Chain A
């Protein structure tokens, strides 16, 4: 039986692993997406998502019930990814694999895919300190305050990094000839 999130967390706090499983089900897409955006590599992102949920379960007693759970779990995810990057000097993004070419394959679809590939590659070129706030803002849709909380940074620093990240990304894209026009 699914319930309100608060009730699931309470049950998980009391050792109900099934309740935690439901939390994982609800948040795995977002957590994996964040990890993938930060790490650039699906296999590593899968590991990171798995680790994030284990860590979060073990540290669940530190979560303040009056805060947003999504912000907290995204913070755990960001930390897991940060540690992975630091510890394993990891960053070998796979070549972008187009897996969405089922059905018709018109020239427009190809052009869109090509542009998406280039943007992903350009994202991969950003350093983690820039990439992480970008992913939390444009994938997880957190606001500045939540990103600051998740990354343990002042809000001003988050705004600065986002601004610089976007400027850097624009520069890389323009170098690769992506101008934003269809």
Chain B
């Protein structure tokens, strides 16, 4: 009898914890309550994101709830979610986009500015992903660098794309010289090397296979988008 009660207690606690975690349905409910116009795309994108483990329902719900607090027009609030949903559908990492959305909301940045910023950064993520994919850096593949084999998990590839894109964005926004391709490449390499999720062998491999000119091209594209 005693063991029965203990087992029941354990199941109760675990069950309670499970219940406390938001579900995808909670997220979609929040979207609907926000009054979005295109719930279908949002659901499709975020469902894929949850399934791919690029975003958690907890984070998505928090974002939706933050957007609910804003007094900006619904279209602008929905805009943030749509950009992230489309990024998820395109199988892009969204950590940077989600982070920037929260940052902008906290700092009181106007939502049209946030949306514009997210769109630009999404394009950068896409360009970086395309570039790295052209070098064989694709999820589920492996790369060999010297004696080391690197498993390209989703976490590793997404983190690499995010860090490279972040480094390029920071370089351009910080006034970096666009004609100094070596400086641009150095900025990316330094950022990659400082992230513990990215294996050093992968950073070294990227250093070898991605030229300074290729990184510089993306930097120039960013500058054009930012009109620098």
Contact B182 A4 (CB under 8 A): no
> Which of B172, B174, B175, B180 gathers the greatest number of chain A CB atoms within 10 Å?
B175
Residue of B nearest to A3 (CB): B183
Q: Does B149 contact A (CB under 8 A)?
A: no
Residues 1-35 (chain A) with a chain B CB within 8 angstroms: 1-7, 26
Interface size on A, residues (CB 8 A): 9
Contact B186 A5 (CB under 8 A): no
Residues 176-191 (chain B) with a chain A CB within 8 angstroms: 176-177, 180, 182-183, 186-187
> Which of A2, A4, A6, A26 gathers the greatest number of chain B CB atoms within 10 Å?
A4
Q: Does A69 contact B (CB under 8 A)?
A: yes
Chain B residues whose C-beta falls within 8 Å of the C-beta of A5 in the assembled complex: 174-176
Q: What size tier do the contact residues of chain B reach?
A: 10 to 19
Q: Does B46 contact A (CB under 8 A)?
A: no
Chain B residues whose C-beta falls within 8 Å of the C-beta of A26 in the assembled complex: 177
User: Distance in Å from the Cβ of A180 to the closest Cβ of chain B?
Assistant: 33
Contact A2 B177 (CB under 8 A): yes
User: Distance in Å from the Cβ of A85 to the closest Cβ of chain B?
Assistant: 31
Chain B residues whose C-beta falls within 8 Å of the C-beta of A1 in the assembled complex: 182-183, 186
CA distance A6 to B169 in the complex (A): 13
Extra contacts, 6 of them, besides A2-B180, A2-B182 (Cβ < 8 A), are A1-B183, A3-B183, A4-B170, A4-B172, A4-B175, A4-B176
A-B contact pairs, 26 of them (CB 8 A): A1-B182, A1-B186, A2-B176, A2-B177, A2-B180, A2-B182, A2-B183, A3-B171, A3-B176, A3-B183, A3-B186, A3-B187, A4-B170, A4-B172, A4-B173, A4-B174, A4-B176, A5-B174, A5-B176, A6-B174, A6-B175, A7-B174, A7-B176, A7-B187, A26-B177, A69-B175
